């Protein structure tokens, strides 16, 4: 059993760079829950499209999504696609370039949502992405929306890229983030939006630990009915 009692679903949404992946992963570790990285699932399907040479909106790809097997292991640290570990490959540039086009296809989204709901039904989870609080788990026990200023999110992304020896500027990363926000917020299907009952957490001037502690405190407060 996890540390907060019976089966529980914590859902988190927010834009790229809001810190939700790191925060969700740490909360999952601390509370003994499964971490569900929904973006990784869209990335895995994108990889499938690349490997099989299928267009994002092709009926063949939609069929593959229906029948493929996606599974998280190692408490959400690894993702398996049809039993193959694709954890590293889903973060490579070809996937980065194509994933938004795959994630906007409604038939693909509806299949991935089914996979996510199946995982959620199997046990307690911390799930994060763009539509977890609104579409995938509208009845989640806890909902959070993480946000941060564009400048702060660009600084975080720049630091990651510098670690990978990628030579770029803050201005260009900021422009990329703005473009991604625009795509996430304005797309026709399941755009990024704040669920009415989500707690909004502005992470701009907070450390990861501060955000994690804040969320765990909120969960603890509601659990014991304060
Ligand atoms: O969070 P990420 O960068 O791994 O997400 C990859 C892509 O998938 C990004 O284009 C947003 C999209 N995505 C989505 O549409 N819905 C989700 N629940 C999670 C990610």
Mark 177-198 as b/e (b = at least 16 C-beta within 10 Å). Answer: beebbebbeebeebebbbbeeb
pLDDT the model gives residue 223: 63
Per-residue pLDDT of 32-77, as tens digits, reads: 999 999 999 999 999 999 999 999 999 999 999 999 999 999 888 8
Kindly list the domain boundaries of the chain, sorted by start residue.
9-213
- Cα separation, 98 vs 87, in Å, equals 17
Residue whose CA is at the smallest distance from ligand 1 atom 4: 39
Segment 161-184 mean pLDDT: 90
Per-residue pLDDT of 69-107, as tens digits, reads: 999 998 888 999 999 999 999 988 899 889 989 999 999
Reading the block at residue 141, the tokens are: 């026990």
Contact between 44 and 115 (Cβ < 8 Å): no
pLDDT the model gives residue 5: 66
The strand pairing partners of 37, in sequence order, are: 128
For residue 19 and ligand 1, the question of a CB distance below 6 A is answered with no
Per-residue pLDDT of 173-215, as tens digits, reads: 999 899 889 888 998 889 999 999 999 999 999 999 999 999 9
* Residue 121 predicted with pLDDT over 90: yes
Residue whose CA is at the smallest distance from ligand 1 atom 6: 39
For residue 158 and ligand 1, the question of a CB distance below 6 A is answered with no
Cα–ligand 1 centroid distance for 146 (angstroms): 14
Q: Thinking of the domain 9-213, which architecture would CATH place it in?
A: 3-Layer(aba) Sandwich (3.40)
pLDDT the model gives residue 164: 84
pLDDT band at residue 4, thresholds of 50, 70 and 90? low
pLDDT the model gives residue 226: 40
User: Per mean pLDDT, which range of 2-6, 22-26, 113-117, 222-226 is the poorest?
Assistant: 222-226
């Amino acid at each position: 059993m996890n540390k907060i009692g019976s089966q529980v679903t914590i859902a988190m949404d927010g834009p790229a760079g809001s810190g939700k992946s790191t925060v969700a992963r740490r909360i999952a570790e601390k509370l003994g829950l499964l971490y569900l990285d929904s973006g990784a699932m869209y990335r895995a399907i994108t990889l499938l499209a690349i490997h099989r040479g299928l267009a994002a909106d092709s009926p063949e790809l939609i069929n593959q999504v229906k029948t493929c097997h996606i599974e998280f292991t190692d408490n959400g640290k690894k993702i398996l696609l049809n039993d193959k570990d694709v954890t590293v490959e889903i973060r490579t540039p070809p996937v980065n370039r194509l994933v938004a086009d795959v994630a906007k296809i409604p038939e693909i989204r509806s299949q991935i949502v089914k996979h996510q709901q199946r995982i959620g039904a199997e046990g307690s989870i911390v799930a994060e992405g763009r539509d977890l609080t609104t579409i995938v788990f509208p009845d989640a026990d806890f909902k959070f929306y993480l946000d941060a200023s564009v400048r702060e999110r660009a600084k975080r992304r720049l630091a990651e890229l510098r670690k990978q020896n990628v030579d770029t500027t803050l201005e260009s990363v900021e422009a990329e983030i703005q473009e991604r926000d625009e795509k996430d917020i304005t797309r026709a299907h399941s755009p990024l939006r704040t669920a009415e009952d989500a707690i909004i957490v502005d992470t701009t001037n907070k450390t990861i630990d501060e955000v994690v502690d804040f969320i765990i405190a909120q969960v603890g407060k509601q659990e014991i009915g304060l």
